[in-house]
Structure 1
């Protein structure tokens, strides 16, 4: 199931010089296999910090681990050696104050690091859990990749950490290997795109922390601009420094050596939101999760190379949100559910069972509430009368409290012309709306 980029986590940090650390090592094993969840094209892995369990995004676009959404866990973590520092991420806002803590114990699978730096964000508004619909407490990237040869199997949803001293590559005729450029501890590759009939070489950040397929920075001299009339303005995601907006369009072709992908989604983010990201002058954009997940990948930082192999997702179509609605899981709501109560005894006779009285009863439970937090101007949903703050109760006659957030979002990525029927709660008034999905590309 292809995920759209509506909850794109565009996170890129610029910190001061890092302190030398002992790094991760494998605990009495040569490799470690770790299963992950793939939510909106993002890899979610379990991470243990100072004995406490968390869920992290594996984000190759960050240089240091970031911890957030820990209001109920901070006391038990017992952070040491804490100092204040400023972080800058993608978005149109200002820098963010964080606490830097050193000498923390990290464990990821069989990999351990007893001297790990971590940046802690206390701002409760910086929380990506609502956009993903599952608990997420942080992100980690370079500090894990630098110490291992990391296999990312998007097809079977696991990563494998390998000791680079003993790792041996298998011969693979169906693989493409490229040199990896590390700049500010972030991985870049060279690729080729076709825009307006012209082939343009590009240097892209391999960004496993981004949901979109491809970001390109607009550049008139290189021809990296969307075709006139063949794009629409949209909300792209949320970073540490605020929201990111930009132009969504289509790209005729994207190539990694002899691997070619046609008719893919491309996004041109607003230049102000990515001003820090463009400080690396050679950079043309980012290759995100919707592209990366079409391959099984071997990330080899120690030898500065990367290998790609097509997987079952390679030919999957590229989809995007055609409703204009962006949802968050905003707390919970009380749901009244019917249940059947009866005094049943398996030893009763048929006659006795026929006289069994079934009593209708109800129970009240807490279920997730899905609230509209972004609404694209002029979209089908906005024209139908939906508003920010509306809570969706049913979608096409299905109770949303029985669905996950990503399952609800799937309805909005259907084919153009598909009817969407919503029942919503607006200030305790129940209302019904009907609209059709529209393709803008």
Structure 2
């Protein structure tokens, strides 16, 4: 997340996302009162199942630090359909992508939680391995070698998607679904512009990206029939998300069709996956109430009796307001907890549920 001035006002927290073309504003209240009837109406789609009504503006400017861009093509959602704020735990006003990356050299240093922006006149010291980028339809693509198993190894085309929380999404291969590992589970793979993405999760043997090899990576496999119409034009096979990308410090150089990769201190961390099976979100009005959005079938959370809609009051006898969503996500993935005690409110009653996390893949 980065602070952005919109038309000189703000700052507002935006997601920095290579996976989007035009800037997307999810809360139209940050703009001067809009006459939606005067804007061009469009329908857009993500990897979910439905299309979303939105409007296009060409009169928005954005400033990040001292870097400013004017007249950015902007999609304005009349209603916030992403619900990013509830899943990230703080108010999010939009997503900024291609216009920003195409105007500057962008240096993302995950290891320092730092963003450096270079203008045309800046002297830039590029670091690490250069990987060629193909910029297609305002999005960056790379080639990487992936081994789904010891016997299935292919070179595939991936979207670089800094806005996706997963490590790897394997979408299509040879006009069909990507071969999946034998051990896998049905899962929600996250949110897209038009809803939740359903599919499977498993581990692949290895991924070679820019000469760097990662093993035993958690990969999502979206339902092919749901997504094929959304990705057909790009001819991509999948995408690389932040759980993989954060293991590098990255320098994006769209003007010269390249990205530079330098391993950082996160490089050797294992790829963990949720061991509980419950998705939590924050109430958007006050950001103080934690609720359960979904529970995976036959997961530890399901077997313990947690239900969608339960309000979580405490975890391990510590009040829920003392946790951030990031801390809870790490707890559910880490494997350090043998038992997690949920205190929940349901139908006016307070009850306890005991969840035994397990390695699900």
TM-score by length of 1: 0.77
Q: Which SS does the other structure have where 2:111 is aligned?
A: coil
**Structure 2: distance between partners of 1:288 and 1:367:** 26
Q: Distance in 1 between matches of 2:208 and 2:22?
A: 30
Cα separation, partners in 2 of 1:125 and 1:277, compared to 1, 3 Å:
closer
2:293, 2:82 → 1: CA distance?
15
* Of 110-119 and 319-328, the range deviating more from structure 2: 110-119
**Structure 1 unmatched runs, 5+:** 1-43, 333-365
1:56 is matched with 14
Q: Give 1:74 shift.
A: 4.4
Q: Is 1:406 matched with 2:326?
A: yes
> Paired residue for 1:395?
315
Total equivalences in the alignment: 359
- 1:288 pairs with 2:241: yes
Query: Higher mean Cα deviation, 288-297 or 215-224?
Result: 215-224
Q: Which residue of 2 aligns with 1:69?
A: 27
Give the aligned CA root-mean-square deviation in angstroms.
Answer: 2.2
Instruction: Confirm whether residue 156 of structure 1 aligns to residue 76 of structure 2.
Output: no
CA contact (8 A) 1:203 1:283 kept: yes
Q: Which runs of 5+ in 2 are unaligned?
A: none
SS in 2 for 1:413: helix
Give the structure-2-normalised TM-score: 0.93
Alignment counterpart, residue 271 of structure 2, candidates 306, 318, 340: 318
The change in CA–CA distance for 1:403 and 1:205 in structure 2 (over 3 A counts) is: same
Q: What does the per-residue CA deviation read over 1:322-375, in whole Å, with 9 as the maximum and x for residues that have no partner?
A: 11100110246xxxxxxxxxxxxxxxxxxxxxxxxxxxxxxxxx7611101111
- Which residue of structure 2 lines up, in the alignment, with residue 299 of structure 1? 252
- 1:14 maps to which residue? none
SS at match of 1:104: strand
Give deviations 1:372-422, integer Å, cap 9, x for gaps: 111101111111111111011111111101221222232211318710111
Shift of 1:292: 0.4
The C-alpha deviation readout for 1:221-260, integer Å capped at 9, x for no partner, is: 89941222x0000011111111101110001111124211
**What secondary structure does 2:70 align onto?**
strand
Q: 1:203 — aligned with what?
A: 157
Within 5 Å, which residues of 2 pair with 1:373-392?
A: 373-392=293-312
Counterpart of 1:132 in structure 2 is: 88
Is 1:217–2:137 an aligned residue pair? no
SS of the residue corresponding to residue 272 of structure 1 reads: helix
Aligned-partner Cα distance in 2 for 1:81–1:180: 37
SS of equivalent residue, structure 2 residue 226: coil
Cα pair 2:69 2:100 within 8 Å, conserved: no
Q: Which moved more, 1:125-134 or 1:288-297?
A: 125-134
Structure that is richer in helix per residue: 2
Deviations 1:191-220 (A, max 9, x none): 111122133101110000100000112437
Match of 1:111 in 2: 67
Q: Which residue of structure 1 aligns with residue 147 of structure 2?
A: 194
Q: Alpha carbons of 1:315 and 1:163: their partners in 2 closer, same or farther (altered >3 Å)?
A: same
Match for residue 142 of structure 1? 98
Query: Mapping of 1:244-263 within 5 angstroms?
Result: 244-263=197-216
Larger radius of gyration: 1
Whole-angstrom CA distance in 2 between matches of 1:206 and 1:406: 23
What is the 5 A alignment of 1:69-108? 69-71=27-29, 73-75=30-32, 82-93=39-50, 95-108=51-64
Q: How does 1:409-428 map to 2 (within 5 A)?
A: 409-415=329-335, 418-428=338-348
Aligned pairs for 1:6-85 (under 5 A) are 44-53=1-10, 54-71=12-29, 73-75=30-32, 82-85=39-42
